[in-house]
Structure 1
Amino acid sequence: MPKWRTAGSRELKPTLGFGVPATSNPHHFKVSIPPANSGKVQISEYLGMQASSDEVAVIDRVVLDRPRWTAIRSEVQRAFNARLKSHGLRTSAWKVGENPVDRLLGKELCVLAWAVEDVEMDKIPVAVRNWLALRPEERWWLFGMTAMATGSVRDAGRGWRLALRYALGDVAQNDLMQPRARQQIGKASERPSLDLFDEES
């Protein structure tokens, strides 16, 4: 059972996994990690109450080979937990089975997963670094553009999916530049308010 957390004098809503509100049928993502080391990892979007019908309640967004997931999982977990912690929310860790992920963080994860699904393995660290350098709202925008036309598991290597692979995996950031996302950790008051961190939602 989720537990209520306090930050200062505020009571924060309990969460599941990476920031998913512990409410009835919220819009969120799930990262499904099979027990077999060779099993593929699937990222799906659960529309919850926003679904127009049961038939479109779940959208399978991307499937990653296990080595590709292993190459990104630690940095993604670190980045997400830094965001959650800066807002006084419970952190999490990837585990075998279903991992709930907040809808906005899930969109950001899809952007990186789409970028690395077909890229050469030696370019994945470049893609991760470039993804970390993006602001959250930039990742949300990229998700929206990609999901509109090429956002399902069947759309790898097409349109915006292909563009993400080259945009994030082709050119490394200057080694002298720190990713902006890391520079801004802990500066929650300077960033736009996210739904999952909003007391009123």
Structure 2
Amino acid sequence: MTRAKAAAHRTPAGRVQVQHTLGFGVPATSDPHHFKVLIPKSSTGKVQISEYLGLQSASADTAVIDRVLLDRPRWTAIRAEVQRAFNARLTAHGLKPSAWKIGENPVDRLLGKELCVLAWAVEQMEASKIPVAVRNWLALRPEERWWLFGMTAMATGGVMDAGKGWRIALQHALGDVAQSDLLGTRARRGRNDRDDNRPSLDLFGDDTA
């Protein structure tokens, strides 16, 4: 069965078989491309988000890309809304929801890209602006978040690239109240189209971005 098939398929007996996933939608296959969110036990420890290229990596040296480190208060400020948004997407596709826990949290490769966009935006943001950034992030369509990830990752997508280039641009774009109003208006205008053309997770399509 190809990845273009739905997450659920029918057995010869006609029963629906749901694809098993780990964490937030990661297919339980051999070395899939995905992200991991590492949450330390210490309440003061930083949360690390890393991308695991899996079988797509050119070599063992490039198999893992550490994308961002978040101070614990910043992670706490975004975690609940991110979890709610991701679980809504997973549930809509018949996949089991998940919850953040201490230790390693696997995240689907497209959801991981979306999470990085928000994490990059808030990593150096004033705490008072983070709720605005979350609202702006929620107003973006998934494909818009994927595009922002791609643009940022090309030049400033490493764990040591905070405060550079597109990372600063994301901070201003998502933390600006006026931008929030603009995105909210556009989201309301395009809600019907978005409902009819909801982007799928990589589990359900051949997207290779």
Gaps of 5+ in 2: 1-6
Alignment of 1:1-201 (within 5 A): 10-172=16-178, 173-174=180-181, 177=184, 180=187, 187=195, 190-198=197-205
Amino acid at match of 2:203: L
Question: CA RMSD of the aligned region, Å?
Answer: 2.6
What percentage of aligned pairs have identical amino acids? 71
Measure the CA separation in 1 of the matches of 2:197 and 2:139.
16
- Secondary structure of 1:49's partner? helix
* Residues 87 and 180 of structure 1, relative CA distance in 2, 3 Å threshold: farther
Count of residue pairs the alignment pairs up: 193
Measure the CA separation in 2 of the matches of 1:110 and 1:192.
18
Measure the CA separation in 1 of the matches of 2:27 and 2:186.
28
How far is the alpha carbon of 1:178 from its aligned partner?
A: 7.6
Equivalent residue for 2:3?
Answer: none
Q: Is the 8 A contact 2:82 2:115 kept in 1?
A: yes
How far is the alpha carbon of 1:13 from its aligned partner?
A: 1.1
Measure the CA separation in 2 of the matches of 1:37 and 1:77.
19
TM-score, structure 1 normalization:
0.88
TM-score, structure 2 normalization:
0.85
Gaps of 5+ in 1: none
Q: Deviations over 1:15-63 (max 9, x none)?
A: 0000000000000000000001001000000000000000000000000
How far is the alpha carbon of 1:170 from its aligned partner?
A: 1.9
* Residues 28 and 39 of structure 1, relative CA distance in 2, 3 Å threshold: same
How far is the alpha carbon of 1:191 from its aligned partner?
A: 1.6
* Residues 81 and 160 of structure 1, relative CA distance in 2, 3 Å threshold: same
How far is the alpha carbon of 1:190 from its aligned partner?
A: 2.3
Q: Is the 8 A contact 2:142 2:199 kept in 1?
A: no
